[in-house]
Amino acid sequence: MNARGSTEVIIATIGLSVGLLSHNLFTMIVATAVTTTLAMPPMLRAALRRLPHNPEEDERLKREEFEAKGFVANLGRLLIAVDESANGRFASRLAGLLAGVRGIPASVLHLGAQGSANTHPKNKEGSAEAMVKASADQTARAEEAELKMRPTKVEVTTLAKHEATEAAVAAEAEKGYDLLVIGLDQPVGEEGGFRPEVAGAAGRFEGAFAIVIGRGRHIEDPKDSPVSILLPVSGTLASRRAAEVAVTIARADKTTITALYVASSATEVLRSSRRYWRAVSPAPPQEEAILKDVVDLADRYHIPVRTAIRAEIAPHLAIKQMVQRGGHDLVVMGVNRRPGDVLFFGKTATKTLANVKASVLLVSS
């Protein structure tokens, strides 16, 4: 064999050796990767089992998972349309309690006779902006205590209208808001109908909105007056949203909630998650499920809830009686707007506004 042939044999032998080595190395890498992949989950689970259990962290994760599907926690921006009245300030206070959840940005749109002024008493105690910030801080403190996390400060923007109420709301609505809160002086008449400015503002906003009708001590002292909440429930989307709003208010104001379902059966049942009145007969499963949903929602935030079922009575009369018996001064209702040119949420809402002396917060779907 000549030199050239020997060289070729040597090169071939080296190539074969390198190929075998590369194959073996590749096989080792793949085997190691498979072994590691199979071994890691059991090892990780074993390691995690040795870590100290943290109930607070578990609760926080469960709450975040729950809130991912909620209404209030997923609000991106609030538009607060108010005038300089006591009801406007009370509406700003309630709106601020919602804004305090995760630091939701809020814009205050000043309406009414002074709405077109170039300046507003933003930093003055009792102004709409100050009310929003103060009540947002209440909610933020509640979240900080429960979740052990630093709250996000609420950014409040002041807007002065230069058009009529309807046009002003419509112009702002185009900028993208998730909830409109309306608080104007004397929002409803004696028969429960809305004044034109309220109807106009709600009519020009395509998303969810809330109308505040403050009464009694909430008008006398919009900033610091306590609240006692009655929550009529029906199982609708609007009712569920109202329940979230009621829980948010109760959580910040450290108050309780009574959830009321008006049944069609000829029984009266009054129950509670913490104390109860003796039931005449078992509640139907649907009614129990609706009330249980509210109790479960409130329990996540450690809010006491008493539940009640009333029967053989008109809903607005049941609400009126529960307000009187329980000393409630804020009714939080979920409502659906009915078709037509007039702002109308059905007979129950209209008669409740006309006959109940408590403040009312209407939350639309």
Of 164, 188, 214, which one is at a domain's C-terminal end? 214
Q: Kindly state whether residue 6 falls inside one of the protein's structural domains.
A: no
My answer on whether 207 and 308 are in the same domain is no
pLDDT of residue 273: 42
Q: Kindly state whether residue 13 falls inside one of the protein's structural domains.
A: no
pLDDT of residue 34: 63
My answer on whether 191 and 279 are in the same domain is no
My answer on whether 210 and 231 are in the same domain is no
Return the number of other C-beta atoms located less than 10 Å from residue 186's C-beta: 11
Residue 80, H or E segment: strand 78-82
My answer on whether 248 and 347 are in the same domain is yes
Q: Kindly state whether residue 43 falls inside one of the protein's structural domains.
A: no
Q: Kindly state whether residue 29 falls inside one of the protein's structural domains.
A: no
- Give the confidence band of 236 by pLDDT, cuts at 50, 70, 90: very high
Q: Kindly state whether residue 36 falls inside one of the protein's structural domains.
A: no
- How are beta strands 269-272 and 257-263 bridged, if at all? unpaired
My answer on whether 201 and 332 are in the same domain is no
Of 184, 214, 244, which one is at a domain's C-terminal end? 214
Mean pLDDT, all residues of the chain = 82
My answer on whether 286 and 316 are in the same domain is yes
CATH code of 237's domain: 3.40.50.620
pTM: 0.78
Average pLDDT over residues 163-186: 91
pLDDT digits (tens, 9 = 90+) for 268-303: 344 444 433 334 445 567 888 999 999 999 998 889
Which comes out higher in pLDDT, residue 81 or 22? 81
pLDDT of residue 270: 42
Distance CA 111, CA 182 (A): 10
My answer on whether 81 and 208 are in the same domain is yes
pLDDT digits (tens, 9 = 90+) for 51-89: 665 666 666 666 667 667 789 989 999 999 999 999 999
Residue 337, both tokens: 């707007």
User: Is 137:153 a contact under the CB 8 Å cutoff?
Assistant: no
Read off the amino acid at residue 146.
E
- Domain coverage including residue 140: 57-214
pLDDT of residue 259: 97
Return the number of other C-beta atoms located less than 10 Å from residue 230's C-beta: 24
DSSP class of residue 51 equals S
User: Minimal CA–CA distance to 263: which of 227, 235, 239, 242?
Assistant: 235
Q: What percent of the chain has pLDDT over 70?
A: 72
Which comes out higher in pLDDT, residue 137 or 264? 137
Q: Kindly state whether residue 239 falls inside one of the protein's structural domains.
A: yes
pLDDT of residue 265: 46
Of 152, 182, 214, which one is at a domain's C-terminal end? 214
My answer on whether 296 and 243 are in the same domain is yes
My answer on whether 78 and 152 are in the same domain is yes
Say which range, 61-75, 246-260, 347-361, has the weakest mean pLDDT. 61-75
3-state SS, 137-175, equals HHHHHHHHHHHCCCCCCCCEEEEECCCCHHHHHHHHHCC
CA-CA distances (angstroms) from residue 7 to 1, 10, 20? 10, 5, 20
Instruction: Indicate if the pLDDT at residue 232 is higher than 60.
Output: yes
Q: Which residues pair with 79 in a beta bridge?
A: 107, 180
My answer on whether 139 and 239 are in the same domain is no
pLDDT digits (tens, 9 = 90+) for 185-205: 999 988 889 999 999 999 989
CA-CA distances (angstroms) from residue 299 to 27, 304, 306? 56, 7, 12
User: Minimal CA–CA distance to 70: which of 231, 349, 336, 298?
Assistant: 298
- Structural domain tally of the chain? 2
Instruction: Indicate if the pLDDT at residue 211 is higher than 60.
Output: yes
Average pLDDT over residues 149-171: 83
My answer on whether 160 and 190 are in the same domain is yes
Name the maximum alpha-carbon separation found in the chain: 118
Which comes out higher in pLDDT, residue 141 or 274? 141
My answer on whether 92 and 182 are in the same domain is yes
Q: Kindly state whether residue 307 falls inside one of the protein's structural domains.
A: yes
Residues comprising the chain, all counted:
365
pLDDT of residue 8: 57
Residue 82, both tokens: 């108010």
pLDDT digits (tens, 9 = 90+) for 126-140: 799 999 999 999 888
Q: Kindly state whether residue 44 falls inside one of the protein's structural domains.
A: no
User: Minimal CA–CA distance to 319: which of 262, 359, 257?
Assistant: 262
Residue 238, both tokens: 């609007």
